[in-house]
């Protein structure tokens, strides 16, 4: 079996980091064969920087490239639906950045299209593929902290001056940008169970998007998840999973974890160093989701067992309800 042939949709910051992360994996396993941007010059610049053979000035050209096996979609989230459907309809496997859609309806539309075309399709919740996250799931299966009763997390960064984070037409808002990391953590810990109730409170920006919020998810059996997220200030950015027999702590930067503290005992999971400068923290960790996609395709899978279609639909259904309570709506929510 030769290397997996990647196509990259968008020449933005996260695509750069994904390309750098791929370089930490064996070249006999992963090869980037093409990149597309709405500006050809931008695609050509990335192609030169990352030694990519082909550059396109449209996503349609990338979709029609017969050498591309799987497309990484790194556009901003209001464009996830049209971009992803374009590639799925062309018969390409797709790894799409989070949040997969602007709402649960968009996620269902993409999942339905992927199933109809028989292609692999996954939301790029990179957090779940870090070795620390693999270890976390293993510890929970083993009952290392007994029965889990509480998940707590906070995620805050001073991003309020970044237009992408506050402009509604760009998919701005703290929940869809960073708050969803907290939600997906709870969904993972509680095994994809739907919460029995959701309580949310927060504050909106002048543009109508959320700039800060707190969420309580109540699960069966008196179990709870409590989160705070903010675009106004840096928070501790830690997470903890508390059970009847102990606690697992994920120190700062829980969304790209390199460390677990299990009942007071510390374990570290270092990342390989990047060969080029990164835009985001610990981005070489994107390597783990890329390798997972290769393994899934090798096994003939159409969805990931770690971020399944049902997982994405559950997370987005929770996000929809939180937005409803906060009073945040997007043009994509109109029927």
| Mean pLDDT value across residues 160-181 | 96
The 10 Å Cβ neighbour count of residue 173 is: 29
Q: How does the average pLDDT of the chain come out, rounded?
A: 97
The pLDDT score that the predictor gives to residue 335 is 77
In the predicted structure, residue 144 carries a pLDDT above the cut 80: yes
The pLDDT score that the predictor gives to residue 1 is 72
> Over the stretch 60-93, which tens digit does the pLDDT of each residue have?
999 999 999 999 999 999 999 999 999 999 999 9
In the predicted structure, residue 166 carries a pLDDT above the cut 90: yes
Q: Please state, in angstroms and rounded to a whole number, the distance separating the CA atoms of residues 267 and 139.
A: 12
Q: Could you tell me if 90 and 117 are in contact, meaning their C-beta atoms sit under 8 angstroms apart?
A: no
> Over the stretch 236-252, which tens digit does the pLDDT of each residue have?
999 999 999 999 999 99
pTM over 0.95: yes
In the predicted structure, residue 205 carries a pLDDT above the cut 90: yes
The pLDDT score that the predictor gives to residue 142 is 97
In the predicted structure, residue 226 carries a pLDDT above the cut 80: yes
The pLDDT score that the predictor gives to residue 124 is 98
| Mean pLDDT value across residues 4-8 | 98
3-state secondary structure the chain: CCCEEEEEECCCHHHHHHHHHHCCCCCCCEEEEEEECCCHHHHHHHHHHHCCCEEECCHHHHHCCCCCCEEEECCCHHHHHHHHHHHHHCCCEEEEECCCCCCHHHHHHHHHHHHHHCCCEEEECHHHHCHHHHHHHHHHHHCCCCCEEEEEEEEECCCCCCHHHHCHHHCCCHHHHHHHHHHHHHHHHCCCCCCCEEEEEEEECCCCCEEEEEEEEEECCCEEEEEEEECCCCCCCCEEEEECCEEEEECCCCCCCCEEEECCEEEECCCCCCCCCCCCCCHHHHHHHHHHHHHHHHCCCCCCCCCCHHHHHHHHHHHHHHHHHHCCCCHHHCC
**To the nearest whole percent, how much of the chain has pLDDT over 70?**
100
- Any idea which residues carry the catalytic annotation? 98
> Over the stretch 281-323, which tens digit does the pLDDT of each residue have?
999 999 999 999 999 999 999 999 999 999 999 999 999 999 9
The pLDDT score that the predictor gives to residue 32 is 98
């Amino acid at each position: 079996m030769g290397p997996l042939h990647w196509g990259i949709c968008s020449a933005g910051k996260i695509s750069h980091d994904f390309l750098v992360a791929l370089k930490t994996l064996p070249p006999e396993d992963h090869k980037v064969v093409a990149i597309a941007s709405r500006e050809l010059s931008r695609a050509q610049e990335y192609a030169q920087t990352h030694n990519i053979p082909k550059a396109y000035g449209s996503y349609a050209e990338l979709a029609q490239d017969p050498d591309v096996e799987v497309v990484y979609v790194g556009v901003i989230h209001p464009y996830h639906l049209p971009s992803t459907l374009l590639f799925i309809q062309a018969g390409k496997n797709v790894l799409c950045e989070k949040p997969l859609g602007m709402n649960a309806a968009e996620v269902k539309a993409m999942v339905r299209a992927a199933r109809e075309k028989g292609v692999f399709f996954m939301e790029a919740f990179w957090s779940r593929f870090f070795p620390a996250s693999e270890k976390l799931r293993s510890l929970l299966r083993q009952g290392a902290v007994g029965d889990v009763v509480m998940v707590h997390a906070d995620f805050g960064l001073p991003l309020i001056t970044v237009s992408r984070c506050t402009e509604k037409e760009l998919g701005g808002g703290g929940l869809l940008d960073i708050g969803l990391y907290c939600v997906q953590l709870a969904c993972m810990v509680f095994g994809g169970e739907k919460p029995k109730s959701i309580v949310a409170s927060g504050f909106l920006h002048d543009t109508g998007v959320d700039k800060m919020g707190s969420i309580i998810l109540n699960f069966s059996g008196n179990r709870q998840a409590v989160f705070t997220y903010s675009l106004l200030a840096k928070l501790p950015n830690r997470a903890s999973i508390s059970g009847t027999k102990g606690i697992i702590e994920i120190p700062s930067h829980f969304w790209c974890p390199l460390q677990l503290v299990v009942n007071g005992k510390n374990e570290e999971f270092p990342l390989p160093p990047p060969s080029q400068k990164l835009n985001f923290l610990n981005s070489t960790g994107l390597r783990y989701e890329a390798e997972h996609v290769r393994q899934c395709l090798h096994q003939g899978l159409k969805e990931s067992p770690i971020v399944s279609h049902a997982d994405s639909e559950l997370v987005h259904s929770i996000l929809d309800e939180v937005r409803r309570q906060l009073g945040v709506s997007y043009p994509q929510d109109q029927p």
